[in-house]
């Protein structure tokens, strides 16, 4: 079966890659999204839900710093240097996954007081909402593109030909 590097990354080294690159960041990001919705609807900006949201935002942002550095170093650069991208679908899947982490990193920076320190609480909540939305958009594009057969755009191995992964992720 032809698959993108994104999907192959999740499929190899089971269950560890799936946990490291999908389950942990998605659970943290979804926790952030759900708590953000709760805070926006209830306007209870103190208490355990606020603390959970803050902890999830900092944790997922810092986690993505590590994931992005690891994947750029161990996947993106080697795949690019070897000219092994499996059509634009492959680049979109991996690129959107990496881009999706950037808004979460921004949330962590904001929660740590390193950006927007002088902004009002309402402005900070708007930034949170926008960043969560951007993560969801890019994350879903990555998942959808990642599940596609990259040969749909041509220029790849013929359908049915196995594409063994040559890079350790």
- Alpha-carbon gap, residue 59 to 62, rounded angstroms: 5
The number of domains in the chain is 1
Rg of the Cα atoms in the chain: 18
For residue 88, being part of any structural domain is answered with yes
pTM of the predicted protein model: 0.86
Phi/psi at 155 (5° precision): 60, 25
Contacts of 2 (CB under 8 A, 6+ apart): 86, 149, 150, 151, 156, 157, 159, 160, 161, 163
For residue 20, being part of any structural domain is answered with no
Q: Supply the pLDDT for residue 96.
A: 97
Contacts of 57 (CB under 8 A, 6+ apart): 32, 104, 107, 108, 110, 111, 128
Q: Is 113 left (phi over 0), alpha (psi -120 to 50) or beta?
A: left
For residue 21, being part of any structural domain is answered with no
For residue 43, being part of any structural domain is answered with yes
For residue 99, being part of any structural domain is answered with yes
For residue 71, being part of any structural domain is answered with yes
CA distances from 148 to 2, 53, 162 (A): 9, 33, 15
Please give the residue range of the domain that contains residue 85: 5-11+33-153
Q: Which two tokens stand for residue 115?
A: 């950006």
Q: Supply the pLDDT for residue 34.
A: 95
Q: Supply the pLDDT for residue 1.
A: 67
For residue 110, being part of any structural domain is answered with yes
Taking the chain (169 residues) in runs of 10, the rounded mean pLDDT of each run is 86 91 94 93 91 96 97 95 92 96 97 94 91 95 93 64 47
For residue 70, being part of any structural domain is answered with yes
* 6 close to 139: Cβ distance less than 8 angstroms: no
Most distant pair of Cα atoms in the chain: their distance: 57
* 6 close to 97: Cβ distance less than 8 angstroms: yes
């Amino acid at each position: 079966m032809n698959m993108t590097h994104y999907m192959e990354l999740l499929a190899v080294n089971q269950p560890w890659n799936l946990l490291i690159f999908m389950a942990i960041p998605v659970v943290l990001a979804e926790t952030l999204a759900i708590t953000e919705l709760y805070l926006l609807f209830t306007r209870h900006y103190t208490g355990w839900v606020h603390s959970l949201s803050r902890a999830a935002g900092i944790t997922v942002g810092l986690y993505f710093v590590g994931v992005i550095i690891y994947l750029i170093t161990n996947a993106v650069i080697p795949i690019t240097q070897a000219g092994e991208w499996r059509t634009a679908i492959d680049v979109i899947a991996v690129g959107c996954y990496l881009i999706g982490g950037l808004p979460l990193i921004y949330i962590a920076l904001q929660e740590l007081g390193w950006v927007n320190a002088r902004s009002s609480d309402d402005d900070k909540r708007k930034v949170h909402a926008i960043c969560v939305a951007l993560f969801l958009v890019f994350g879903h594009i990555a998942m959808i593109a990642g599940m596609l057969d990259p040969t749909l755009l041509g220029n790849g191995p013929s359908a049915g030909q196995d594409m063994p992964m040559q890079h350790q992720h």
